[in-house]
Amino acid sequence: MVSLLSLQAAALGDQSPAAAALKDARSRFRSMELLYDQLYRTESHEIGSVRGYLDRLVETLVNLFPGSEDVTVHKEIEEFPLDVKRLSTLGLVVNELVTNAMKYAFRGTPGGNLAVSTRRDGDMIRVVVEDDGPGLPEVSPLKKLRDLE
């Protein structure tokens, strides 16, 4: 599926909104592919390693983007097991955050820094994805209200 989506996106051209949607779908499929590959290589098919999965996922996602060789990736991913359902959900969230950072943070710049960290905090999992891109534009509260009218 990943290859088919890549071929179809390439046929549409890089500037096409449809190509962008296909590339996003490709990264989601790749995320699931990495998860299931990890699970089938281990003894347990119901529990996976957060560090093993996210480490490979982040590297794979970053490498999908042009200019990725100029982006420095910092990872602090705590090692702990997680059931497949939660691990796949975590992977999809990280997939979206890293993809958005790679799409928008480093556009028009010669590189930058991307940091991904996870840690277990009791029953919660804390995920932080940061970049040193320009950030979101400032929008005044009045402008927000006017836009809603």
What are 32-69's pLDDT values in tens digits?
A: 777 667 666 666 668 888 998 899 889 988 988 888 89
Q: What angle do CA 88, 52, 27 make, to 5 degrees?
A: 50
Domain map of the chain by residue range? Answer: 45-148
Going by the DSSP 8-state scheme, the letter that residue 65 receives in this structure is: S
Bridge partners for 82 per DSSP: 48
CA atoms of 100 and 115, how far apart (whole Å) = 13
Question: For residue 81, what are its two tokens?
Answer: 């097991």
Span 15-23, average pLDDT: 74
> Position of tokens 């950072």?
101
> Position of tokens 């010669």?
110
Its CATH architecture, for the domain 45-148, is 2-Layer Sandwich (3.30)
Question: For residue 138, what are its two tokens?
Answer: 């400032």
pLDDT given at position 148: 63
CA atoms of 145 and 149, how far apart (whole Å) = 7
Sequence-separated (6 or more) residues with CB below 8 Å from residue 1: 29
Q: What pTM did the predictor assign?
A: 0.75
pLDDT > 90? residue 126: yes
CA atoms of 105 and 140, how far apart (whole Å) = 22
